[in-house]
Amino acid sequence: MQNDYILNAFQAYVDTIIPRTPGLAEVYGYIQYYGALDLQVDQFLLYNFEHVSMSSAELAALLLNAAAVQWLVNQGYEGRGSLDLLPPSDRLSAIMLLELQQMDPRLLSEEFLNDPGLMVMLTDTLLYYTLQGYYSEWAGYGTTRLNPPQERVLEYFPLSWEQVGYPGPSLGYRVLRTVDIS
């Protein structure tokens, strides 16, 4: 399967979980505009899904698109669909069908029917990777971010850390308090 198919699904997913937010930017400053697509978190998903013992990037993408089809069916539509072709405002509702395991098994490929835990595992993992990819230091690896882990070098201070006010790793903080709690 083409990486494009997988990346389209992953891009639609990460953009739903951590979108660009012009509204927040207006209130709190421009740094708050950027979202998961700006940090290419879809590539983090692809890398990690491809580096487990049973590569599951394709299955995860199939699952996301099956959720889109399920959502369309639930709205009374028929036919084919994919997460990236749903309007952004409806994508979270489609993903919710996975979170709540409200999928019609007939819309799922064979792998999911043979392994009842697979959908739960992939659904949990998609979100875990998205939050890790965005809020950890990963994006700061810049041009080395898709290298093998031993060959990554921190090139930038991650934009997401700026958004949340995390100063980055430290050797110590002068924050000891003297409080009698007894």
CB of 171 to another protein, least distance (A): 5
Contact 37, 11 (CB under 8 A): yes
Structure tokens at 60: 């995860």
Site string for another protein, 129-168 (x = CB under 8 A): -xxx-xxxxx---------xxx-x-x-----xx-xxxxx-
Distance CA 139, CA 145 (A): 7
Comparing CB distances to another protein, the nearer of 76 and 149 is 149
Distance CA 131, CA 139 (A): 12
- Applying CB under 8 A, among 128, 142, 143, 155 the residue interacting with another protein is 128
Q: What is the DSSP letter of 175?
A: -
Contacts of 15 (CB under 8 A, 6+ apart): 35, 36, 37, 88, 91
Comparing CB distances to another protein, the nearer of 99 and 111 is 99
Contact region with another protein (CB under 8 A), list: 60-68, 73-81, 105-113, 127-135: 127-135
Contact region with another protein (CB under 8 A), list: 1-9, 59-67, 74-82, 128-136: 128-136
32 scored as a contact of another protein (CB under 8 A):
yes
Distance CA 160, CA 164 (A): 6
- Identify which of 86, 60, 59 has the alpha carbon closest to the alpha carbon of residue 73: 86
> Could you say which residues in the range 65-94 bind another protein, by CB under 8 A?
92-93
Distance CA 126, CA 143 (A): 23
A 10 A CB-CB count for 12 gives: 24
Residues in touch with another protein (CB under 8 A): 16-19, 21, 23-24, 28, 32, 35, 48, 51-54, 92-93, 95-96, 99-100, 117, 120-121, 124, 127-128, 130-132, 134-138, 148-150, 152, 154, 160-161, 163-167, 169-179, 181-182
